[in-house]
Chains A and B, each alone.
Chain A
């Protein structure tokens, strides 16, 4: 086993431990199952392609962090995550904002591997490698909102927005997408700052 493979194995094991712990008595088993469909597909796709993609260790760490964030969110059906509830009371928010943090995390953590893949495979220049990942993140985020709306109408017709955990926010979809976009921007700004000083790979 090469050094990097060992590293990936450790990350995978860490995620697996979190997953098993979160799979025990989730708040809402149906919601948990639904949230995990995406996760399983994502991990499956990644495990089939990781050899060919040759992502860096940093990318794998970011992906693992996002997966752990999602595992925790799925356990608490996002809206009932204790930390988010605490923030709701402490800051007087109208809703549990953990889902927004997860969307932000989606943009923040995944913009990095997306940029790496673009640089490696798509042939784009460095200057564009900071512009396109936020676009791809926002595109996926928009696609996810459409997917969610279709699932909601299928499972719970009529009360779709509430069922999705909108928690009374009529701009829920737009705010979710904005959170992902901001996350991607922050990550790209950070990468740009860091790579400017160091030597370019």
Chain B
């Protein structure tokens, strides 16, 4: 648990991962479908980066955690470029499974739970001192809470920006249970990884140094 801290200059893996993300992000920052929506979506990236960079020296997560966060942000960058409702991959999914709407946003909510459980668990074990048996489930609770909090935040923003449009502003496409389905997607994503971590805990696995086991 007490791995020696690695300076960013020496951390080749993180340099590479961050470099890939930045190039990807710049490519998608060029002519997004809707610039103001792109700005709004990127507030999330700004918030994440402004937490992770200053804390790097004081509290360094494992490289696997950083990689998972970057993968999530890369998925998000795609959504931000296409205002989520118009992501091409979502349209393929729509044709392929005969869905009524572009489900890329649901996929991202699912990925939120799936990809971020591991980093949050690491934070809870190392910073909060949570027991290993408790940590995956506490992490799941934190992600469920963040997912619910995001829905609340969305509702508040929608009511401030366009009170006349109501839920339609959020691109619910007429689905009254949109918020619940988004949350359920994140819940399921988080549960899958929490279960996996719980079952895996029984065995000691020789993991690479990148991972925080």
Contacts and interface: CB of A to CB of B under 8 A. Distances in A.
Is chain B found bound to chain A in the same assembly?
A: yes
Interface of A: 121-125, 128, 132, 134-139, 141-143, 145-146, 149, 153, 160-161, 170-171, 173-175, 177-178, 181
A145 B141 CA distance: 15
A181 to B, nearest CB: 7
Contacts, number: 92
Interface stretch (B19-27, B129-137, B200-208): B129-137
Contacts of B144: 138-139, 142-143
A125 B131 CA distance: 11
Given A122-B131, A128-B129, A132-B138, A170 B179 contact: no
A145 B127 CA distance: 31
B129 A142 contact: no
A134 B145 CA distance: 8
A145 B131 contact: no
B87 interface: no
By DSSP majority rule, is chain B's interface helix, strand, loop, or mixed? helix
Given A139-B145, A160-B177, A181-B152, 13 more contacts: A124-B124, A125-B128, A128-B124, A128-B129, A138-B144, A138-B149, A139-B140, A142-B144, A142-B145, A142-B183, A146-B183, A173-B179, A177-B152
Interface of B: 124, 127-131, 134, 138, 140-142, 144-149, 151-152, 154-156, 159, 166-167, 176-177, 179-180, 183-184, 187
Contacts of A170: 166-167, 176
Contact of B127 (A123, A128, A134, A171): A128
23 contacts: A122-B130, A123-B129, A128-B128, A128-B130, A132-B128, A132-B138, A135-B145, A135-B146, A136-B145, A138-B144, A139-B142, A139-B144, A142-B148, A142-B151, A145-B179, A149-B180, A170-B167, A171-B155, A173-B179, A174-B151, A177-B148, A177-B149, A181-B152
Contacts of A137: 145
A132 B143 CA distance: 11
Contacts of B141: 132, 135-136, 139
Given A171-B155, A174-B155, A177-B152, A138 B130 contact: no
A16 to B, nearest CB: 31
B142 A135 contact: yes
A132 B177 CA distance: 27
A153 B175 CA distance: 12
B176 A142 contact: no
A119 to B, nearest CB: 11
B117 to A, nearest CB: 13
B159 A139 contact: no
